[in-house]
Amino acid sequence: MANGDPLDGEVLLLAGAKASLSPRRLPVLVDAAQAHLRGELARYRREYEAVYEDDRFVVFLVEPDHWDGLAATLGVNDRERDALRRAHAEQLRWVGRDADRLDEFESALEIREAVVVGTGPESEGEAGTGVETGTGTGA
């Protein structure tokens, strides 16, 4: 079963609602994205700024169109891409509130996008690298 690790459940609910995705769809998308992103972790560490890291995940700031390329790689539609983008940005805001860095992260998100890559054992699910889009509606 998809669980959306390492993103927090509240983050998934908020991002899914804003993108008009079913509550079950976004965790599937997140799991598929994580399967791809974990394989790219070393490259992300070399090429992008890590602005937050804990025992569950690391958050990178990437160029503004980064999620367009990831969406093409994952084979997701525009609504699903936007939901993933929102979920990753909201996770950064979530940790920013806890770390008293929300203003800093909000400013960064005005010019860049967030990519959260799971590093803990709970983020190593059995998702594949692609996403079944079904009807393509994202619902």
- Give the model confidence (pLDDT) of 1-26 as tens digits: 457 789 888 899 888 888 888 878 89
Cβ atoms of residues 66 and 127 within 8 Å: no
> If you ran DSSP here, which 8-state letter would residue 116 be given?
E
Mean pLDDT of 106-125: 86
The number of C-alpha atoms within 13 Å of 20 and in the hemisphere containing its C-beta is: 5
Average pLDDT, the chain: 87
Give the separation between CA 132 and CA 136, rounded to whole angstroms: 9
Q: Tell me, what's the pLDDT at 19?
A: 83
Q: Where does the pLDDT of residue 49 fall: very low under 50, low under 70, confident under 90, or very high at 90 and above? A: very high
Q: Is residue 79 within 8 Å of residue 18, measured between CB atoms? A: no
Task: Yes or no: say if 11 and 94 are a contact pair by the CB < 8 Å rule.
Answer: yes
